[in-house]
Amino acid sequence: MSHYNHLFDKLIELRIDVIREIGQLVVDQNARVAAKKIAHDKILQGTPAVPGTPGTPAIPGKDELIEALKAIKKILKTIMQL
């Protein structure tokens, strides 16, 4: 019986590992999507490339980039806690 218990324990460990890996893939994908959205939002909120010129693409300033990096860091901390 001990041999079967050992095999059963190994099977449970494998299932847990597979579930953990699937969960990590989902979390990683969600983190990538969230990071892209945060970065995109920050770029849109940036200052114009040429001040006073309407319609120029927005370029994020230093503060916006730091804020985006802090948000990404927070997301990564959340991922590591799972």
Radius of gyration of the chain measured on its C-alpha atoms: 22
**For residue 7, is pLDDT > 50?**
yes
What's the pTM?
Answer: 0.40
Domain that holds residue 64: 2-81
Residues 6+ apart with CB under 8 A from 47: 58, 59, 60, 61
Cβ proximity of 47 and 58 under 8 Å: yes
Residue 38 has what pLDDT? 77
- How far apart CA 62 and CA 48 sit, in angstroms, is 13
pLDDT digits (tens, 9 = 90+) for 27-54: 888 888 888 887 777 666 664 445 555 5
Give the count of domains, the chain: 1
**For residue 1, is pLDDT > 80?**
no
